[in-house]
Chains A and B, each alone.
Chain A
């Protein structure tokens, strides 16, 4: 049985994701098990616009960065030695669609989006380091991480393999690109 570890932000999205994986025959990873898929849910950011003229809680933002961005790095690092087979090891991340710097103006949200954007950079660096070792990556851009509605879409995106041609690694191999996709599989620019 394949095993998945789902960690990061708790809540309805995580619960729905867990149920969907189980319905697809995955077991939830327990210490001592071999791991096939790691899923980290990056905590949602505020969706209300925030003005620079409001008082910022800088200590709060620092704490949030530690709890979200640095925690994601720590948890991902911890999981790496548990994978059964590096050629099938998959690292998956759920982030808010508001994390897109390019499309920052298309979505409302506060300055804590700086943290979710930083998480995307961390994922990119992990991809640069780990893809050559065999790990594959998925980044799902959720419209609303507080809702369970998109979890099945995320899970299917995580489970499904993408094109990978060993002889043409740079032109037709989607696994060798790191992109963020929403529930419609539309690529969201970084």
Chain B
């Protein structure tokens, strides 16, 4: 049985991916829980009591990531796949009227630094001979400078550009050691990124989660190239 850790699994795309991996069978899923008051993950646990493990996790805090590692490393000898999904919207408005810089800073902390806290903490558990050694990151078309169309907001796209840069550096170091990577744009999802359910998106979280499952679990003939692929397997430029 393979092992996976998914961050931000409470709802939206993270919950969708947790569900899809459990439904597929053959996976022991560790689900990072940030919002214990949100009950969907608990309900899923009733359905999969043996293969779903809920772990308290706030990727923006060093000590929370460390505690999460301690819990998981006491249960398994290695981890096959790490999915850094946890993300928030945090923007600073229009260039003529900037505001909410604390939200912008928080977006960088969660969306950019969060995944690196996770990789650093869990590297000893993933860098094992038995492991699949796959690192998956939920990025966004918002991080693509080349085709950016946005005219305001700033800090959410900046956090995803920064994530893409960091993953590129990580790829350079870890690909020669046998790690494989997925940098995934989930599409425009009817999720909870802004705090409440977005009703205008193009895809339900479970739909993009099914696409993610295929991309994350299948090997690619071009593992030596770092792509941003969306849920329709279309490549986005950096």
Using a CB–CB cutoff of 8 Å, the interface residues on chain A facing chain B are 50-53, 56, 58, 61-62, 65-66, 69-70, 73-74, 76-77, 80, 101-102, 104-105, 109, 111, 113-115, 117-122, 124-126, 128-130, 189-190
Contacts and interface: CB of A to CB of B under 8 A. Distances in A.
| Chain B interface category by residue count | 35 or more
5 contacts: A52-B116, A52-B174, A70-B104, A121-B143, A130-B95
A118 B149 CA distance: 15
Given A62-B109, A69-B158, A126 B95 contact: yes
A74 B143 contact: no
Nearest to B146: A190
A190 B145 contact: yes
Given A53-B120, A125-B148, 14 more contacts: A58-B117, A61-B113, A62-B108, A66-B105, A73-B95, A77-B98, A80-B96, A101-B165, A117-B164, A125-B152, A125-B153, A128-B149, A129-B151, A189-B146
B150 interface: yes
B72 interface: no
Interface of B: 62, 92, 94-96, 98, 101, 104-105, 108-109, 112-113, 116-117, 119-120, 123, 143, 145-146, 148-155, 157-159, 161-166, 168-170, 172-174, 237-238
Nearest to A99: B165
A52 B162 contact: no
Contacts of A66: 101, 105
A43 to B, nearest CB: 15
Contact of A118 (B96, B162, B168): B162
B165 A117 contact: yes
Contacts of A113: 165, 169
Contact of A117 (B123, B148, B152, B161): B161
A67 to B, nearest CB: 11
A77 B145 contact: no
B145 A120 contact: yes
Nearest to B98: A77
Contact of A56 (B116, B162, B174, B238): B116
B150 A122 contact: no
A49 to B, nearest CB: 8
Name the residue among A56, A69, A114, A124 with the largest chain B CB count within 10 angstroms. Answer: A114
Contacts of B153: 125
A125 B143 CA distance: 11
